[in-house]
């Protein structure tokens, strides 16, 4: 039997663009001392009333516009009732029947280059709960209400994702959008971009959806991929062994790479949603939406297309570069410094630059090489002053504080030898020093070409122009 996975994602995006809570004026900065950022509203003291902040609403409109969604011009806040120590009010203010944003979509690129449209069912505003701290006091649990009331946008996808790879592609697209729109920092480690994955399986071709489980607590792209794959495998095995998937919430444990049952449907809360009588409906005028629309930056999709059509960048490179607004800006500013070979610049951004940043766990903003230095390096590769190999050496020098590519090339004498006269002499010398090999190469053992090129590179410390060396070898050997 062939199986097919069905995945729907719920992402909680913290709206860090708002420096205060959704319904109070308390600060939302990350890492503050426990309970230092919780005011009377967040502590749920009797008699206080929530007042909606404008910024998070604006953030929701922005995302709605960016994913071509409907924006409900009269959405409603609802109380989601449950008891938990880190929720002093006894309910969370969320949106239920009338979310602010609904029926949008995000397009992802599949591994074979095809595009797939994933529906976004809804995106609603809600406040975050506090945190229970289990490891600070022996035998006791502390409550930190700093996070209580922090504005979140919960983005819910349709069950239209078919694999862990697609799920990650969708999440990366959403992540990029949040960063482009500057509505959240989407920092996964700090919990400002949290994903719950709903997973089910069904026999291939079947219309009806299978029973799903929901994996909570996944805080990196890698773990999303692993958790989903693990869950798909577990469900298929369970069904093939004659069992049934039960609808439940499971927790992903990255240390063991497995999911564990947290609570079943029977134990699920009945949230008793109802409209919050303390809050008026959120009314959004056409003018406000138009005004927000004028503030939207160029979005990743548009940028990718511009890179492909105007700069002739390979689609996969365009996608990789534009997935980060900061990286795309580095790339474009570099092109301002040298624009004759955008694909070469793209190669060095997605290649050496990203590799080095990853090795040192730095972000692009922390790159010791600035765009002017980078452009200078690309220029010298493009005009063949240095080979690609030597360029890596120059790149490292710049990374360590070198002033400019030209200065490094000059100081270290790294200029490529393209002078035919000088090279011809070297090639002749090498042939003379290895008469047997030269004979064999001449006789058709082409593999030896590499040997000769290597010899010449050794003699010149990699500075000989490889194309020229190849040409000269052939020329001299066929004489
Ligand atoms: P709840 O509010 O109980 O979490 P929803 O119906 O709002 O449930 O769905 C939440 C998420 O689960 C959505 O992203 C949806 O696409 C996904 N989902 C629903 N049914 C399935 C299913 N059978 N398999 C996989 N995902 C599903
Ligand atoms: Mg859910």
68-77, 306-315, 441-450, range with the lowest pLDDT: 441-450
Element (H, E) at 8: strand 3-14
Q: Is the CB of 227 under 6 A from ligand 1?
A: no
Q: Is the CB of 209 under 6 A from ligand 1?
A: yes
Instruction: State the pLDDT at residue 341.
Output: 98
Question: How many percent of the chain have pLDDT more than 90?
Answer: 76
Ligand 1 centroid to Cα of residue 8, in Å, is 6
Instruction: State the pLDDT at residue 474.
Output: 83
Ligand 1 centroid to Cα of residue 248, in Å, is 12
pLDDT of residue 268 exceeding 80, the answer is: no
Q: What is the mean pLDDT of the chain?
A: 93
Instruction: State the pLDDT at residue 218.
Output: 87
State the ligand closest to the CA atom of 10: 1
Q: Is the CB of 6 under 6 A from ligand 1?
A: yes
State the ligand closest to the CA atom of 228: 1
pLDDT of residue 265 exceeding 80, the answer is: no
Ligand 2 centroid to Cα of residue 314, in Å, is 38
Rounded average pLDDT over 308-331? 96
pLDDT grade, residue 479 (50/70/90)?
low
Ligand 2 centroid to Cα of residue 65, in Å, is 24
Atom of ligand 1 nearest to the CA of 211: 23
pLDDT grade, residue 416 (50/70/90)?
confident
274 touches 91 (CB < 8 A): no
Closest CA to 42 of 30, 54, 26, 57: 26
More reliable by pLDDT, 396 or 417: 396
124 touches 11 (CB < 8 A): no
Q: Is the CB of 157 under 6 A from ligand 1?
A: yes
Atom of ligand 1 nearest to the CA of 156: 14
State the ligand closest to the CA atom of 170: 1
pTM check: above 0.75: yes
pLDDT of residue 406 exceeding 80, the answer is: yes
Sequential DSSP letters for 120-189: EEEEEEEE---EEEEEEETTEEEEE-SSTT-EEEEEEE-S-B-SHHHHHHHHHHHHHHHHHHTS----TT
């Amino acid at each position: 039997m062939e199986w097919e996975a069905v995945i729907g994602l719920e992402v909680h995006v913290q709206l860090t663009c708002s420096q205060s809570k959704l319904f109070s004026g308390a600060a939302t900065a990350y890492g503050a001392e426990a309970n230092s950022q919780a005011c009377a509203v967040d502590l749920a003291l009797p008699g206080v009333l929530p007042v909606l902040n404008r910024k998070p609403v604006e953030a929701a409109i922005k995302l709605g516009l960016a994913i071509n969604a409907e924006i409900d011009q009269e959405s409603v806040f609802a109380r989601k009732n449950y008891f938990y120590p880190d929720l002093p009010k006894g309910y969370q203010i969320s949106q239920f029947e009338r979310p602010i944003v609904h029926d949008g979509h995000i397009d992802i690129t599949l591994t074979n280059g095809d595009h797939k449209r994933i529906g976004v069912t809804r995106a609603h505003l809600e406040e975050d709960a506090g945190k229970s701290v289990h490891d600070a006091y022996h035998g006791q649990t502390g409550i930190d209400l700093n996070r209580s009331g922090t504005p979140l946008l919960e983005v819910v996808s349709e069950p239209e994702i078919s694999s862990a790879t697609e799920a990650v592609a969708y999440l990366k697209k959403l992540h990029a959008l949040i960063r482009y729109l500057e509505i959240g920092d989407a920092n996964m480690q700090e919990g400002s971009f949290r994903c719950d994955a709903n997973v089910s399986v069904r026999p291939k071709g079947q219309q009806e959806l299978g029973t799903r489980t929901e994996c909570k607590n996944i805080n990196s792209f890698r773990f999303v991929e692993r958790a989903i794959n693990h869950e798909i495998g577990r469900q298929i095995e369970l069904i093939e062994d004659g069992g049934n998937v039960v609808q439940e919430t499971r927790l992903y444990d990255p240390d063991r790479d497995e999911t564990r049952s947290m609570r079943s449907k029977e134990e699920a809360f009945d949230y008793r949603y109802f409209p919050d009588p303390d809050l008026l409906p959120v009314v959004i005028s056409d003018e406000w939406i138009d005004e927000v629309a004028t503030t939207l930056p160029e979005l990743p999709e548009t940028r990718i297309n511009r890179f492909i059509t105007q700069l002739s960048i390979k689609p996969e490179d365009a996608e990789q570069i534009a997935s980060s607004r900061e990286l795309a800006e580095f790339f474009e500013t570099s092109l301002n410094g040298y624009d004759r070979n955008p694909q070469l610049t793209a190669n060095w951004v997605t290649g050496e630059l990203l590799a080095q940043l990853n090795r040192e766990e730095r972000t692009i903003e922390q790159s010791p090489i600035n765009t002017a230095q980078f452009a200078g390096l690309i220029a010298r590769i493009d005009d063949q002053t240095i080979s690609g190999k030597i360029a890596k050496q120059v790149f490292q020098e710049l990374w360590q504080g070198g002033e400019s590519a030209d200065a490094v090339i000059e100081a270290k004498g790294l200029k490529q030898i393209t002078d035919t006269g000088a090279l011809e002499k070297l090639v002749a010398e090498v042939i003379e020093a290895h008469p047997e090999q030269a004979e064999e190469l001449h006789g058709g053992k082409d593999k030896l070409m590499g040997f000769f090129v290597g010899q010449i590179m050794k003699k010149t410390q990699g500075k000989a122009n490889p194309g020229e060396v190849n040409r000269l070898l052939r020329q001299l050997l066929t004489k």
